[in-house]
Amino acid sequence: MATEEKVGIVDGYYAKIGVAAVRLTDGALQVGDQIRIHGHTTDFTQTVESMQIEHKPIQRAERGSDIALKVRDRVRPHDHILKVVAP
């Protein structure tokens, strides 16, 4: 069974473009990773398809980065970003 490890939290959400502002507090993230976004009213899983730092596309972001992450559903500030890790 896959496990989940926290990599960051949501700082904000831009509804018109479906993008979450994310702070990577605990780990790195890269395009292709499977993530779960979980909060009080949020809970869905998706694959990371697009990330940016300061409007420039990136493939990987390290812990400590503030990134923009394309999301398929609404997210809320303080939602947790969990990376799904295959066994």
Identify the CA nearest to 37 among candidates 58, 65, 13, 9: 9
The pLDDT value recorded for residue 21 is 98
Residue 81 Rama label (left phi>0; alpha psi -120 to 50; beta): beta
- Kindly indicate the confidence band of residue 2, based on its pLDDT and cuts at 50, 70 and 90: confident
Beta strands in the chain (DSSP E): 3-14, 19-23, 29-30, 34-38, 43-47, 51-53, 56-58, 60-61, 66-70, 80-85
Higher pLDDT, 28 or 87: 28
Domains of the chain: 3-85 (2.40.30.10)
pLDDT in tens, 5-53: 999 999 999 999 999 999 999 999 999 999 999 999 999 999 999 999 9
The pLDDT value recorded for residue 10 is 98
Q: Is the pLDDT of residue 1 over 90?
A: no
Whether residue 78 contacts residue 38, with contact meaning beta carbons closer than 8 Å, is answered with no
